[in-house]
């Protein structure tokens, strides 16, 4: 038995205090009686109680816990008299969304707004549930990066009914009730195609496109074909394969590229990939066949891709400074939350012909010749850009 001056006693009391609050928190979430300090069990009974609480929490499921956490954030924001901007992300599997998020937070927090978010993990149904949960805890404005532009339409209508203005972030949503904030996506497609034909304006081309459920790919393709179609019509370029990649997943892009190479007996002269994640998958398939270095495109300015460009293993990435995009969306969200018009917005025609306000930033094609732009902007360090670069280094690595 420990003596009355046992130094372990304060630590035990501290643990009991924490356990009491854990039980109280779970009682709030799952609806069973909360303990009071006088009734707090000790010793092994306490451990058993916590075990039972944990089991009940697990059975109740993560969705209930998420609602509790959202409600707690709401209560804190209300107590501080602040406003909330709710953000629904389609997923976080690509590094760029972390950059977008940082841009959003850099504007909201200094302005006294609370940032609340949910990750749909690539599931359209989960995204609908996410938006419903966010709206139920009060949002002054909502930013939605849609996983499925059509499936998310009821959520936009729900937000309108609740009086919450909506920003369609990066991916278009065909609704007059949403403000579209993105890059000029037709220009994105055009820039990547222009950079590609500059080094290879003939031969067999494979097209690796994004998720077919996302209408944004039509904008990218429109820009690409402004450059490619005349060369296709002349017979200079032959499109020998075109493959959509579910959720833009790199591993699926790699598998698709491997299949294309097998079917074509490696007779592929260029790969037009719609983003950097898929170009990374395609690059892995090309490397396995010792073909890394043929013209290859992407977009987003991923660090690994910029390094590949420095090594001469990729032709172009269309850089969309997503930190600036996040800032633009946050500024617009604040204006909309306060009932003000969005500064700098212009009409944008959706796929159905509906007009909606928009802010479209200009993308930049990054090739070996202008890698200094991403270093000078601190998007990537020179060390990361030039890691492993030996032969024929670009100017940015000298």
In tens, the pLDDT along 282-298 reads: 999 999 999 999 999 99
Question: Tokens 């060369």 appear where?
Answer: 231
In tens, the pLDDT along 303-339 reads: 999 999 999 999 999 999 999 999 999 999 999 999 9
Classified as helix, coil or strand, 384 is helix
Question: Tokens 């009734």 appear where?
Answer: 39
Mean pLDDT by runs of 10 across the 398 residues of the chain is 41 39 36 39 39 40 44 42 90 86 97 96 95 95 95 96 97 95 97 98 98 92 98 98 96 98 98 97 98 97 97 97 96 97 95 94 97 95 97 95
In tens, the pLDDT along 148-186 reads: 999 999 999 999 999 999 999 999 999 999 999 999 999
- How many Å apart are CA 195 and CA 366, to the nearest integer? 9
pLDDT, averaged across the chain: 85
Across 197-235, b (16+ Cβ under 10 Å) vs e yields beeeeeeebbbbbbbebbbbbebbbebbeebbeebeeee
> Domains in the chain, start-ordered, CATH in brackets?
14-60 (no CATH), 82-183+322-361 (3.40.50.2300), 185-320+364-397 (3.40.50.2300)
For position 215, what pLDDT does the model report?
87
- Partnered with residue 203 across adjacent β-strands are 237
Beta strands in the chain (DSSP E): 83-89, 113-119, 141-144, 166-169, 178-183, 203-209, 237-244, 270-273, 317-319, 346-349, 355-361, 364-366
Check the CA dihedral 256-261-267-268 and report its sign.
positive
For position 69, what pLDDT does the model report?
44
Question: What is the pTM assigned to this prediction?
Answer: 0.74
The number of residues in the chain equals 398
């Amino acid at each position: 038995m420990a003596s009355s001056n046992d130094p372990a006693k304060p630590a035990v009391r501290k643990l009991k205090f924490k356990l009491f609050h854990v039980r109280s928190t779970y009682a709030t979430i799952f609806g069973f009686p909360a303990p009071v300090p006088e009734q707090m069990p000790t010793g092994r009974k306490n451990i058993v109680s916590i075990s039972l609480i944990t089991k009940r929490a697990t059975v109740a499921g993560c969705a209930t816990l998420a609602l509790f956490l959202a409600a707690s954030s709401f209560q804190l924001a209300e107590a501080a008299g602040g406003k909330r901007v709710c953000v629904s992300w389609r997923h976080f599997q690509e590094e760029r969304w972390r950059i977008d998020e940082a841009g959003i937070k850099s504007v909201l927090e200094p302005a006294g707004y609370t940032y609340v978010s949910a990750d749909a993990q690539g599931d359209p149904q989960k995204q609908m549930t996410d938006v419903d949960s966010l709206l139920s805890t009060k949002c002054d404005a909502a930013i939605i990066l849609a996983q499925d532009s059509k499936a998310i339409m009821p959520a936009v209508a729900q937000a309108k009914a609740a009086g919450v203005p909506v920003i369609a972030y990066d991916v278009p949503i065909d609704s007059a009730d949403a403000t579209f904030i993105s890059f000029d996506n037709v220009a994105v497609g055009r820039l990547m195609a222009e950079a590609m034909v500059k080094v290879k304006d003939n031969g067999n081309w494979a097209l690796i496109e994004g998720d077919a459920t996302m209408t944004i790919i039509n904008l990218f393709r429109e820009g690409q074909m402004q450059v490619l179609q005349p060369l296709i019509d002349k017979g200079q370029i032959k499109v020998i394969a075109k493959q959509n990649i579910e959720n833009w997943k790199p591993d699926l892009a790699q598998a698709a590229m491997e299949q294309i190479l097998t079917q074509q007996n490696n007779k592929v002269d260029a790969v037009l990939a719609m983003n950097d994640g898929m170009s990374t998958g395609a690059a892995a398939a090309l490397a396995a066949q010792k073909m890394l270095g043929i013209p290859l495109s992407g977009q987003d300015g991923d660090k690994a891709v910029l390094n590949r460009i420095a090594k001469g293993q990729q032709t172009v990435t269309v850089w969309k400074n997503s930190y600036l995009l996040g800032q633009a969306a946050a500024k617009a969200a604040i204006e909309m939350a306060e009932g003000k018009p969005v500064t700098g917005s212009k009409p944008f025609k959706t796929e159905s012909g509906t007009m909606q306000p928009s802010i479209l930033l200009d993308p930049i094609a990054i090739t070996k010749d202008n890698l200094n732009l991403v270093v000078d902007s601190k998007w990537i360090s020179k060390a990361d850009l030039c890691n492993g670069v030996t032969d024929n280094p670009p100017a940015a690595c000298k």
